[in-house]
A and B are shown apart, each in its own frame.
Chain A
Amino acid sequence: MQATIVEAVNDALHTEMAADDDVIVFGEDVAESGGVFRATDELLEDYGETRVVDTPLSEIAIVGAATGLAMYGLRPVAEIQFSGFLPPAFDQLVTNASRIRWRTRGELTAPIVVRMPYGAGVRALEHHSESMEGAYAHIPGLKVVAPSTPHDTKGLLLASIRDPDPVLFMEPKRIYRSFREEVPEEDYEVPLGEAAVRREGEDVTVISWGSMMPATLEAVDELDADAEVIDIRTISPLDTETIAESVKKTGRAVVVHEGARSNGVGGDIVARINDEALMYLEAPVERVTGFDTPVPLLSMEDYYFPHSPRILDAIENALSA
């Protein structure tokens, strides 16, 4: 079937709820209204009100209770309505969800999935536009996933729900509905922890994920050189090997992400390239990122996240250095 990213989310949830009675979906407005982005549409009708639950407006309880449910053997898929609302529940991710396995020496685990739309560019209000994967990827024991295509979305979400560890599943809402592609009707997984090579090339490695992939590919299309494009897909744990192998081949690299630059994921990727491929580098690794500012309100938010001309400029810079 041809599907958008948000339709792929919905399809994965239907697929796994049909396959596994332990999967329950909950969060604010997920049941009766089908989610503010319709990601959970028709789940209530198909699986009933004990498995698809509208919760009170309680991010701490949503993530904390998911952890408790998972410790008890269920497979909770919780929705946080917008990325800017996750910080209250940061405590539950840090204090509990990410540490249950470690704390109990493997006796108990917390295989939860917390889904949330993230990123700027949809003219939303304050606290609706954050890309804070760097903060979440900094939590040991938590996996952080950010798909960029409908096909990957379904496969990664199915893998996340089945994963034995807690997963934060960050959905790129700016491109929720911007394109369709073929998504298999059947059950399949895209494994966590494996990057995808979206384009093969020899001259420069461009690394990106989630909401920034379309702009990255657009920039590469404009480029008068042969770029290799890597879609990280899983931000933590990061697939260092795919990145390092590519940089060893091209000798140049650019990292593109939407979140603020300082202490962001890009810095860590540059460090890993230094660890694994420093002697192959022919130029410093470029970073194209959001600025170290709050995401501006809607009148200026489009200037915040990198667009393809900015990415193109950085790639050309890396190539000319």
Chain B
Amino acid sequence: MTENEPTDHPANAAVSAGEPRFLTQDDLTVDTHQIVEPDGSYDADDVPDLDAEQFRDLYRWMLTDRVFSRRMVSIQRRGELGTFGSTRGQEASIIGSAYHLQPEDWLYVGRAWTPMFMRGVPMKDMILFWRGIEEGQQSFAEHNSQIAISIGSHLPLVAGLAWGMDLSGDDAIATAYLGDGATSTGAAHEAINFAGALGVPALFFCQNNQYAISLSADEQTGANTLAQKALAYGMDAIRVDGQDVLAVYEAVEEARERVREGEPVFVESVTYRLDAHTTSDDPTRYRSDEEVDAWEENDPLERYREFLKAEGLWADVDHDAIVDEIEAEFDAALDAANEFAEREIVEIFAHVYEEMPPELQRQYEEFVDLLDRRPELYDYIEQRPKG
């Protein structure tokens, strides 16, 4: 065979005459994997092989996510944080997917912080981050974790991290959390295609929480599902009920096995953002109370509680005591964050380059000199009305 002959790529294998046939979305059936139904019923044969402690652990982490969101929204309202985005309603999706993460794996998230707590990031640093204090992110990095703010911008990076793991022969995976909105960005398309083409250990965990600020998922794309997008990039996908923590757990467990073998996987977790996009957003402008109420009924914690009761595990769970423990952990983290030392001007200039270039050094020294000569500048800045 010369180089100019057609290859035996599957696309060339079958030919047909007559009327051209459309390839349509209806040719594809995309099931949504589910173990526990919304009313709490399930088939015992489908339940993942976890021990009682692990089942309770899943609940505890879901509760951590919920309590942390509630407390953060509350202190934001008191002016103790900048803009904050809650994860209420997405706990099963977030915890079920993160339960498999290993310390050597990399994790790049949008707003899924509990997976970072699960790998050792202190709550204090997450509070510092949302207060706009750069130092919070140092411990994220120490635990192979990062938060991406610009939507979808992290996905090519994750493809590169996974590529590095592949080149190094490391037994680890790179996991990116993204949302329904991110799948519309150019960066997502390039990243997912790149990972698929290179065959690198990347897991793209997409939380389809139905809204990207005001835009609903069905206006975000003409595709029936987000999972099917992976196929175009040569990647396998799973669509899972994101309100069912056990289904998410199992889907990501299986996905992870495939990813470790160098086959990237895309998971679409179907969930719902119960709170506003962020504390700056008013969701009543674009969604109905009826819709939100219906999803409140589909609460992932409630559903999992029904499962734990049916398994006889609920009696061992002291819900109120767990909440108290998480509240106490949050209180301690908040105290530690409040004690974070007064910051120095040099921090603006630190870590831009490994070695501060002369012009930047000059700008720093000029500014320090100015603050010495005009101390009123401090008051001026501190008293400026904050947006």
Contact = CB atoms under 8 A, between A and B. Distances in A.
A122 B281 CA distance: 15
A281 interface: no
A61 B151 CA distance: 14
A262 B359 contact: yes
Interface stretch (A6-14, A108-116, A124-132, A199-207): A124-132
B184 A56 contact: yes
Contacts of A61: 184, 186
Q: Which of A28, A36, A57 has the most CB of B within 10 A?
A: A57
Interface stretch (A240-248, A271-279, A294-302): A294-302
A117 to B, nearest CB: 11
Contacts of B343: 299-300
B66 to A, nearest CB: 22
A297 B134 contact: yes
B186 A303 contact: no
Given A28-B215, A309-B374, A291 B186 contact: no
B9 interface: no
B374 A296 contact: no
Contacts of B219: 54, 56
B295 to A, nearest CB: 19
A134 interface: no
Contacts of B360: 291-293
Interface string B125-169: 000010111100000000000000111110000000000000000
A308 B343 CA distance: 22
A122 B215 contact: no
Given A29-B215, A123-B82, A124-B82, A60 B151 contact: no
Interface in A4-56: 28-29, 32-34, 36, 54-56
Q: Which of B187, B359, B363 has the most CB of A within 10 A?
A: B363
B213 A28 contact: yes
Contacts of B281: 36
Contacts of A304: 348
A180 interface: no
A300 B387 contact: no
Contacts of B332: none
A124 B282 CA distance: 17
Contact of B83 (A58, A125, A303, A307): A125
Interface stretch (B10-18, B54-62, B229-237, B378-386): B378-386
B285 interface: yes
Contact of B386 (A59, A123, A294, A300): A123
B328 interface: no
A294 B184 CA distance: 27
B198 interface: no
Contacts of A296: 132, 134, 347-348
A303 B348 contact: yes
A246 B220 CA distance: 51
B370 A57 contact: no
A155 interface: no
Given A32-B285, A58-B184, A126-B149, A293 B83 contact: no
Contacts of A293: 348-349, 352, 360
Nearest to B137: A297
Contacts of B384: 121, 302, 307
Interface in A74-125: 84-85, 88, 121-125
A225 to B, nearest CB: 17
Contacts of B67: none
A298 B215 contact: no
Contacts of A310: 370, 374, 377
Interface string B339-376: 00001010111001000010110011001001001101
A261 interface: yes
B347 A309 contact: no
A60 B186 contact: yes
Contact of B348 (A55, A59, A125, A300): A300
Nearest to A294: B352
Contacts of B370: 309-310, 313
A138 interface: no
B355 to A, nearest CB: 14
Interface of A: 28-29, 32-34, 36, 54-61, 84-85, 88, 121-128, 174, 261-262, 291-294, 296-304, 307-310, 313
21 contacts: A28-B215, A29-B215, A33-B286, A36-B280, A56-B212, A57-B185, A85-B151, A88-B187, A123-B82, A123-B132, A123-B386, A124-B83, A125-B149, A126-B149, A127-B149, A174-B387, A296-B347, A299-B132, A300-B132, A300-B134, A300-B343
Interface of B: 82-83, 129, 131-134, 149-153, 181-182, 184-187, 212-215, 219-221, 280-282, 285-286, 343, 345, 347-349, 352, 357, 359-360, 363-364, 367, 370, 373-374, 376-377, 380-382, 384, 386-387
